[in-house]
Amino acid sequence: MQKRMGTFLAGAVAALSMTVSAACADATIKMVEVISSPPRTELLKKQIASFEQANPGTKVELVSLPWGQAFEKFLTMVQAGDTPDIVEMPERWMGLYANNGQLEDLGPYMAKWKDAGTLGDRAKQFGSVVDNKQYMIPYGYYVRAMFWNKKLFAEAGLKEAPKTLDEFMQANKKISAIQGKYGYCLRGGPGGFNGVQMFMNIANGKGGYFNQDGTATLNEPGAVKGLEMLADIYKNGYAPKDSVSWGFNEVVTGFYSGTCAMLDQDPDALIGIAEKMKPEDFGVAPLPTGPNGKSYPTLGYAGWAMFANSKVKDEAWKLMGTLLSPADNLEFAKNVGVLPIHNGADKDPYFGSESFKGWFQELSDPKTFEFVTPPTHLENLGNFYDSVSVKNFQEVLLGQKTPKAVADEWAAFLTEQQQAWMAKNKK
């Protein structure tokens, strides 16, 4: 009897141990990707599969949202309580979720992270713009430069990419005189505000968004001229008519198909373009300068953030740390089209190629090129960028509102947001 009881107890303890072990080992990480494309999602799935293989019992559920509707779709998910453990966080969404206490401070995790030593200072800086807490770690940087089609330029009698806004407009006019061709791949749809704001800054001769008192600069005379210039490009037929609704995929296709000869974009556009065009048929030049001899390229970024209500924080961080490791990040940067986050990554042969010349010229000449990052601390920036500004810019292109009226609307909104933030954070 005693032997049987001992056998029973041993079996019960073993069963309980297996149950507890399974409960501890099994974890499902829900992860949301918002800047999605088929090749990009496949790469992410490949890296996730490697992580799962190295971490038996941990599964990752990947949700890929279409970028054009990602802001609204993700906000709806969060409002319904359907929050992920990890989310891909564009810089302009960070103020909304971090200011509402929904994101986990990653500082304590980074303190124990074996790869923290090579993480570049910009990643630490840009990921902690809200309350000086590391609510996000960027996976790379999107820097604007100008793609130009050398064959179309030659056909129009032009030898080089435009160096100034005046040359940019002249190139638009000459190339658009070719039957069925256009000068500029204008982005009137989702994600277009970065380029709009950039040309407004260049024409205004002033980088950034605000003056010291918190008033927005977007309705200053020079900035309005920049918006008028984009409206003229569209109205004069220097951009395709359907570009009023073009997003990222459309402008990239417009360029590599030879429909339009110029495209201001980040390195992510290089992936599709390099696949479709011969290296000798296109170049990447620095952005044109404005009346003051300077240019103001946008520097955008996105990264991974963790929701504070996650039930699997340790596992979620382990996945984030893997995806952000030097090896995985370098592979991701090459395939997605961002500049990588770890020190020393620029020594990789891929980033030293001729194709990256325009971006690195901008990076190496701070006197001429001043990078502008979005005011990610503002809580309502995401809705403004991804919804309001798109609708307003389309109204300008279609002649439904004047550039000055829209610039005034944008400036009023941003001024109110910035001054409210300044008052709240006054020391």
Q: Which residue has 């303890």 as its token pair?
A: 13
Measure the CA–CA gap between 226 and 196, rounded to whole angstroms.
8
Measure the CA–CA gap between 173 and 237, rounded to whole angstroms.
9
**Could you tell me which residue, 288 or 268, shows the higher pLDDT?**
288
Q: What is the mean pLDDT of the chain?
A: 91
- Band (pLDDT 50/70/90 cuts) for residue 208 is very high
Residue of 299, 314, 332, 317 lying closest to 139 (CA atoms): 332
Question: What are the φ and ψ backbone dihedral angles of 110, each rounded to 5 degrees?
Answer: -65, -30
- Band (pLDDT 50/70/90 cuts) for residue 309 is very high
pLDDT at residue number 361: 86
Cα torsion 78, 190, 48, 374 to 10°: value is -80
Task: Specify the pairing of strand 145-149 against strand 260-265.
Answer: antiparallel
The fold of 2-142+300-352 is: D-Maltodextrin-Binding Protein; domain 2 (3.40.190)
Structure tokens at 271: 């992936």
Measure the CA–CA gap between 267 and 147, rounded to whole angstroms.
10
Residue 225 has pLDDT above 60, yes or no: yes
**Domain 143-299+365-424 is of which CATH architecture?**
3-Layer(aba) Sandwich (3.40)
Measure the CA–CA gap between 91 and 358, rounded to whole angstroms.
23
Domains 2-142+300-352 and 143-299+365-424 fall in the same CATH topology: yes
pLDDT at residue number 17: 43
3-state SS assignment for residue 306: strand
Helix axes 313-323, 38-54, angle to 10 degrees: 120
Which has the minimum average pLDDT: 176-190, 226-240, 303-317, 342-356? 342-356
- Band (pLDDT 50/70/90 cuts) for residue 22 is very low
- Band (pLDDT 50/70/90 cuts) for residue 427 is low
Residue 270 near residue 248, CB atoms below 8 Å: no
Residue type, 260: C
Residue of 420, 380, 417, 391 lying closest to 96 (CA atoms): 380
What residue segments make up the domains of the chain, in order of their start? Answer: 2-142+300-352, 143-299+365-424
Residue of 69, 94, 44, 66 lying closest to 386 (CA atoms): 69
Measure the CA–CA gap between 354 and 315, rounded to whole angstroms.
40
